[in-house]
Structure formats: structure tokens, C-alpha cells
Structure 1
């Protein structure tokens, strides 16, 4: 087929009723569209079949992960332009079927089918998680979901995260390294918790042990870190031993619901609560409340989505659910605060650090791209492409205020009402008498 790009551009614009803001480079080497714009590279006709059989985000994701689609040029600019065209329009199979009542749309769809070739749905890439959305957030299903995301290989995460091995939003000065920004985030959490030597800290979702090590080394506390990932736990235990902290840090492969050796003086939950799920969130908050001594503090660091018009409807990002965080759910910050208070906490501070996550994600993408060939060898080409798309798209979402991230400081205030916090907000420090 001669000049496939021009034909494809015309059909897509006819189908969507809008001009394409990106350039198209097709499998025959032809190009069409704005010459200075990033190019959407359509490597083969299979990409079209994926989009025709699963219109919208999931079809695009499958084509990307399989290597059928790519972006040539500035990745962030290309994704931003595609978001305005597809994701923000909310296109899915149902809305496109409704649009087929328009003769012009039907004609464009027929043209795309002819270009795509045999109308057989390609199998999803092997990296996709396929399961029924039932029995969410049982201990078994949560362990399986965590393993999918975190047991990719510690060497792969070392590439992405760098020496800090912290997989959550850093806390940035105007200039600085990723490692310093992650250290500053860990210190911010410790400061808000008011940690003092001899206290007990529970780190829920401890990852590769960075928070546990920092708190024990810099603040003299004893730490129990829990994770569901075997690979994380093994890595964290080695780091603890290398730091000479085995007498103060214990890393367990354990569900937070099975922790029964409270009370703790403080609990940190950094980037873990997104895995809990709406139907389990109150239970999560109640469990952590029960593990704290009176006057103990919780620092809950969590990504938040914007409220929907209909909060009773289940909402899921198809790409992230299928390829990144199976069963992950984001809640508005107001919902999180309400659930924490329903569990008995007194919420004392909420700090939004949304812009900080965008900066963090861009550094992770840069790390991945710098060692792209090695990352593909370690995790496989498909999985590496998942992470690159996921992190770049999330960076844009934080920059555009589509999602946010917040640190919520809550206290298990005793009946006396003495919270132990200083009179002036954000002058944290040790608990007062």
C-alpha cells in the first residue's frame, strides 16, 4: 500500500471528527501530518487491529506494549497531544458504536478495517494481567497483585530508582539530585512523626527498606517493615545487614492485616494505601489505629484522584489495571481523610506535594532511558515499555492536576484530648507532654 500514513491520517480524522495533532509514520515508511510534531509510529497493521477490536486506552496500551506503536520525538509532548485526542475524549467501544450511526464515521471505520487486514483480534501481550474483577483485595489477591508489580527484578528497579531505592514521590528543592530529594522526603516523614530514640515504628509497605533504614540510622528507633514482595524483603534485609542495623530493623513478608505485635509509637505508610482498595480502606485505617499507642502518629502518603460526578460508580484506569497496578484504586483526598477519621484518627495536617511527583517521575524515566538496553534485557522489552509509558503518562497527569499526592498526618488522640503536637502547625518535633 503506497503512502499508508496519509490514508491512515485521513481515516482517523474522519472517524474522530478532529485533526490529528501528531505526525504519523506508517509501516511503509510514509509520513503525514505536522512536520515539527512528534510522530506516532505505526509499525504494522496489527496496531490497527488492536485499536479496532479494543478502541480507546486499552487498545492503545496493548499496541504500545507489544511494540506495534511508538512515539518518535519528545515523549511527553507526544503523550500530551494524544491525551487531548483520545484519553480526554473518553472514547471507548460504546461511544464509538454510538457514533457509527453517522455515515461518515461508518465509512472511516470500514476504511480502517480494510487497512488493518484480516479482522482477527490479536492476543494481548503476555505482560497483561487477565482476571475477573471479583474477590478484590483478599490477602491472596493482594499478594498476587503486589508480586506482579514489585517482583519484576531488583536490578531493574535499581536502574529506575537509582541508589535511594525509594519508589514514591521525592521532596525537591529547586535544584538537587534524586537521591537528595528522596532523603529529604524520608526525613520529612520522620520529622512529622516526631521520631525519638527508643520508639517503635511500623513501616507498612516497606519496599526495599529505605524508610526503615533511614529512621533507624538517623533517629534511633526500632523498626518493623512489612511487605508482600519476597524480592523486596530479601533486598531490604541485605541492606539492613550491610548498614549494621539488624538489631533495630526487622523486615517481614507479611500482610498489614496480620501485624499483631503493637502498640507502636508511629506508623509510616508511604505509597502503599493505593493498593488497599475502597472496600477495604476503613478496615485498613482501623487496623493501623489499633496498632498505635494513645498519642501515636500515622503518616499516610498517598496518591489521590479528582472526585467524579458519580462517586458510586466504579472507576479504573484500564492500562494501569491491566499492566501496572492490578486492583489498584485511587480515592479523592476528602474520602481518605473521612475514612481515617471514621477509624478514630484525628487528622492534623494534609500537605499536597503534587508537583514533586512530576519531577520524581521525570527523573525515573530519564534513568530508564539512559540504560534502556539493559532494562530490556532484565525485564523484557514489553515490561520496560510498560514502565516507560506508565511513568511518563503519570508525570503529565501530576503536572496537569489530573491526580495529586498528599501526606496526611493523623494522631490516635487519647480521651484526654492531648494530641502531643506542638501548638504551631508544621513545627513538628517530638511529642509534647
Structure 2
């Protein structure tokens, strides 16, 4: 693990602002305390940045090594259980107002912006994701019921999706946001379906094509709004978080247009515990630009008059375990990765995985799988919960 370059003698630093001490008192986190979730501040500029820039200032200071914490996941869990992160989001009022207005006034997920998240995040280097993920390269929540390893949990998730979709040999399946081709490969290999997968990532497309070679799978670099055709089943895993509320109508209208009347659509997405006006500034800047997590009411309002909800499955706690498994694999692979990526990247990636683990552990974050059908459908649907009664 990289060592911080900052002065570790925290006792020499001035006392932290009373505002921060009082706020953190609600969480059980102490500045320069001895608990694993306490933070060690090495530079007093951290206080200024947090008070003026909120969560963005906190995250940037961590990347730069100006503070540290031995159990970041527990630090974030305590912060989010007490909703302190939301109070911090209000600091730096000009920045907050700018974030709210940016989401309100602009379509941050418009077609001309669709490829930005790939350029910043998904195309950083396949070696990072290969080191961190399971062999299927599934970059979404695993299903841990009756699973003991990440490999098992992701395989169970892939198969659960196929069973929920009631895939039949010869069907034509559309995958919106196919990643590195893990689900497409699984569907084609084990359920003998024909798959069209789309992605906005050049790196993902190249690897997915290679991994699915010889199978009835077509991987295209394409924005979902340009899709044409008719499909028996449609699935989207971990992509809806990039759609944005302004585009929910066209997203669901597109899926409705592409889906056959008797078909099924499975939507796998992270969900927020409440409707938010903006995205966390640090996540937006460093990890997922232009992203926006939906609330349950936003999803249900968007599908009204377009789809019926056949099933709504929440297994959000499984994402905490998934993220910690990813971190374990990434940290063990770091001795090899460090020759290509610097210490700032290591700290950014750790911060990302740990704050997301805290998000789900605190129950602010949910993970939903919805199975949707058209009203014209004449099928009778039965919910699938593999392993629930085993």
C-alpha cells in the first residue's frame, strides 16, 4: 500500500473547527482519534476545504494525502447513517447552487455527452478492471445468496437475470450497456439466444467482441437512442444510472418501441433512498461524470403508462459485499498495477470503492432489479428468487 507523503505528526496541527467537531460528534467519528474509523488530519487546509467545498473538498484532500483513515468504509458508513454527507453537500453554497442549476437547466446526459463517462472512467485501462472484477468482468452488484466467492456470486447474478427474463433458445435479446460482454456471453452460451449488446466505451467494445467471438453476439458502439429493431427480451445492467431524469421518458419510450408485445424488460440499477436534486460533487468530478441515481418514485413515474411492474427485487446489501470484494482484489493486485498508475490513482480508487461501500451499508443506497412488461402482454409472470428457500 502506498504511504502518505504528508507529515504524520497530527498533534502539531491546530485544533479543528468546532463546527466540524460538533457535526462529526453525531457519527461517532473523532478527528485524530484512535478508532479505526477516526480520521487523521495531516494538514489544517483540510478543514478549510471541507467547510468551503463540502464532499468535493474532503475527497480531493484525501487524494492528495492530507488526511487518512484506516477504515474508510466504516467512516463513510457512519457519516451516511447520520446523513452528515448531505449536510456537507450544502457547504460551499455557490458550488451547491451551481450543481443544482446544472442538473436543472442542462441535459447532462444528452447524446453529445453520452460518451464522456466512458472516456473518464470505463476506458481508464482494462487492466484495472481485470484485476478487480471476477472472470466474467461483471461491473455491477453480485448476488450473494448461497455464494461464497465473488466468482460464484456474479455467476449466480448472471443466471438469475436469465431466469427472470425466461430466456428461450433462438430469442433475440438486446443488452443496453453490455460492459465487457460477460452477460452477453453467458446468455448466448447457456441459453442459446442471439444478443445485440451496445456500449459507449471503446475499450469495452473491443474486449467484449474478443470474449464473445464465435457466439451469436454482436457488440456495437452506440447510444441507446439510435437503436432500431424488435427484440424478444431487453436487459440493462448498471447503465440506467447514466441516463438522467431528463432522459427517462425517451429511455423508456425507446425500450417500449424495441420490445415485442409479449416480451420482458429487466432493469438492474442502483437506487437512491430519496429523490435528490444533484449528484455528489466528488463522484461527479472523479468517477461518473453526468451520472444521476434514481429514486423509486422517479422510476415508477417514468414507467407509468408504458410498462407494468412484474417484479421489483431489492438486494442492496449485496453491493456492500461486492465492493469490498472488489477492493480486496484491487489492493492485492496493486504491486503490479503501481508501475502504470500513481499513488493519487490508488487513493482515488480506494476512496471511490470505500465511499460506495458505506453508501450501501448505511442503506442510503439500494440495488433494484425490475422486471417490466407491456400491458399488451398475455404472459403470466412468476417472480424468481434463486437460493431464497435453499
Question: TM-score w.r.t. structure 1 length?
Answer: 0.78
Could you tell me which of 273, 283, 300 is aligned with 1:337?
300
Q: 1:328 corresponds to which residue?
A: 291
Q: CA deviation at 1:144?
A: 1.3
Alpha-carbon RMSD: 2.7
Q: Which runs of 5+ in 1 are unaligned?
A: 25-31, 97-131, 429-433
- Decide whether aligned partners of structure 1 residues 383 and 196 sit closer, same or farther in structure 2, where only a CA change above 3 A counts: same
Give 3-state SS (helix, strand or coil) of 1:377's partner. coil
Task: Tell me the equivalent position of 2:63.
Answer: 65
Q: Does 1:349 align with 2:311?
A: yes
Q: Distance in 2 between matches of 1:19 and 1:396?
A: 16
Q: Compared with structure 1, are the counterparts of its residues 15 and 229 closer, same or farther at alpha carbon in structure 2 (3 Å cutoff)?
A: closer
Count of paired positions: 368
Q: Is the 8 A contact 1:189 1:299 kept in 2?
A: yes
Aligned equivalent of 1:225: 197
Instruction: Check conservation: 2:115, 2:201, Cα contact below 8 A.
Output: yes
Secondary structure of the residue that 1:10 maps to in structure 2? coil
2:237 pairs with 1:270: yes
Deviations 1:22-77 (A, max 9, x none): 565xxxxxxx53x344452334455455445x342111111112232222x33323
2:259 is aligned to 292
Residue 426 of structure 1 aligns with which residue?
Answer: 384
Aligned to 1:257: 225
Contact 1:57 1:319 in 2 (8 A): yes
Normalised TM-score (structure 2)? 0.86
Contact 2:142 / 2:150 at 8 angstroms: preserved in 1?
yes
Q: 1:233 to 1:14 in 2, by over 3 A?
A: closer
What secondary structure does 1:187 align onto? helix
SS in 1 for 2:145: coil
Task: Please tell me whether residue 384 in structure 1 is matched to residue 382 in structure 2.
Answer: no
Alpha carbons of 1:163 and 1:82: their partners in 2 closer, same or farther (altered >3 Å)?
Answer: same
Distance 1:194 1:269 in 2: 15
**Conservation of the 8 A alpha-carbon contact between 1:333 and 1:406:** no
* Distance of 2:336 and 2:18 partners within structure 1: 38
Correspondence for 1:10 among 15, 19, 32:
15
Cα distance between partner residues in 1 of 2:361 and 2:16: 32
Task: Assess if the C-alpha contact under 8 Å between 1:299 and 1:409 holds in 2.
Answer: yes
Distance 1:315 1:401 in 2: 19
Aligned: 1:74 with 2:41: no
Q: Is the Cα–Cα contact under 8 Å of residues 10 and 42 in structure 2 kept in the other structure?
A: no
Distance 1:286 1:173, change over 3 A: same
CA 1:340 to 1:377, structure 2 compared with 1: closer, same or farther past 3 Å?
farther
CA deviation profile, 1:139-184 (whole Å, cap 9, x unmatched)? 1212112321101100011111132200001111244111111111
Per the alignment, in what secondary structure is the counterpart of residue 378 of structure 1?
coil
Gaps of 5+ in 2: 1-6, 95-101
In the alignment, what sits opposite 2:119?
147
Task: Measure, in 1, the Cα distance between the counterparts of 2:24 and 2:144.
Answer: 38
Partner of 1:183: 155
Q: Distance in 1 between the 2:145 and 2:156 partners?
A: 9
Tell me, yes or no, if structure 1 residue 397 matches structure 2 residue 356.
no
Tell me how far 1:401 sits from its aligned partner: 1.1
- Structure with greater contact order relative to length (CA < 8 Å, sep ≥ 6): 2
- How far off its partner does 1:413 sit? 3.5
Q: Output the CA distance in 2 between the equivalents of 1:406 and 1:284.
A: 17
Tell me the residue number matched to 1:366.
Answer: 328
Give me the whole-angstrom Cα distance separating, in 2, the residues matched to 1:220 and 1:151.
30
The structure with more radius of gyration: 1
Distance apart, 1:95 and its partner CA: 7.3
Is the alpha carbon distance of 1:259 and 1:19 closer, same or farther for their aligned partners in structure 2, counting shifts above 3 Å? closer
